[in-house]
Structure 1
Amino acid sequence: MTDTGDRQPPKDPTPDHDPDDLVGFASPASLAGRPRAPEPRPAPGPDPDPAPLFAPPEPAAPEPVDARAAFEPTPPAAPEPAFGRRDREPAPEAPMGLYAIYALILFAVPTLGVSAVVGLLAILFGDAPTEEPFASHHLYQRRTLWTAAIAAVVGVILIVINLGVFVLFVLVGWLVIRGAWGVFLLTRGRPVPNPRGWWVG
C-alpha cells in the first residue's frame, strides 16, 4: 500500500549540508559566508619581445630658418608680352621708310592715287635695305606700286567701254589688302613670304 502523505526529505547527518545552496538559493549558511578556496595563479606567459636588432633612424634636426629672408619682398615678375609672342626673340626694329611707304599705299585711295605716286618715287630714288626681313618688304612695296600704277592707267582707259570702274574698284581693294598685310608682317619683324607674288604675298 502506497503512502499518500508528503514525504519529508531525509535528514542529512551532517549539519553543514545546505540543499538550497546546490540550486542557487540563498540560505543562512551561504549568507554567513564560507571560506573560498584560493584561485589558482595564471601560468606564466612567454617572455616579452626582445629589442629590435635595427632601431629606426632618428629624425634629422630642422635647418635653421633665416627670419630676415622670410620678410624680404620678392621682385616682381617681368610682364608677359601679349598676342602669343612669349618665347620669341624681340622683333628687329624696322626702318621708318618702310612704314612711310606702307602709309602712302594705304592713303592712295583717299588721295586719288597721289600718295601712291609719291611712294613710287620714294621707292625708285631711295636706298633699298639689303638685310632681311626688310629687303623682302622693299621688293613687295615696289611690285605693289608698279602694278597699281599700270592697273590705274588701264582702268582709266577702259572707262570708255564701261569696264574701267570695275578695274579701279578691284584695284582699290587689292591695294588696301596688300598694304595692311605688309604692315602686319613688318610690325612683327617677319619677311614677306612671296614678295613677287600677285596676291597678298
Structure 2
Amino acid sequence: MDVSDVTPELEQLELDLNTLQEVLQPLLSDVGDVSSKMPLLDKAKLYVLVCYAIESLIFSSLRLNGADAKSHPVFTELTRVRQYFEKIQKLESPPEERENTVNTEAVARFVRNDLADNKDIKNKLTELIAKEKAKAEAKAATAAAEKKRPAEDSTSEVRPEEAGNKIAKRPKRDGSKKKK
C-alpha cells in the first residue's frame, strides 16, 4: 500500500475527530452540570459511559501505536467499567420473584436445640414443629387430590346410548357437509 493512498483516509479521520470533539464539547465540559439535573440511575449511566468512552479511546490509541493493549492496565479498567454496566442493568431489571424462602420448620428446630435447657420453650417449639408438619402434609394432600379430580372426570363412563348421540352430533372434521 502506498503512503499516498492513506492520506485521504487520514484527512477524513482528522475531520471526524474534530467533529466528534465539537459534538462532545458541551457534554464533557459540563458533566457535573448535566448530571446534576438527572436522576441517580441516569447519572450513574452517564458517568460509566463517559469513563468507558475515555478508556476505549486510550485502548484504541495503544493498539494504533502498536503496543500490547491487552496487557496494559487500561484493559483491566475497561473490564471493570463493563462490570459497572452489568450492575446497572441488574438494577434496571430486578428479579421478578423472590428466590429464597424461609423454612420455618428448620428455624424452629434450630431455636429448639439452642434453647434445650428451657423446657417450656422446648415443648412449645415441638408443638409448633408438629403443627407445621401437619399443615404441610394437609397442603400436599389437597394438592394431590386436586390433581387427581380432573383426571377422574375425563375417565368417567359414558352410556352407549349417550355415546351414540354425542358422536352423531359432532360435525365432521374435514369441513364437508353430510350428504343425504
TM range (shorter): under 0.3
Larger Rg: 1
More helix per residue: 2
Task: Give the structure-2-normalised TM-score.
Answer: 0.27
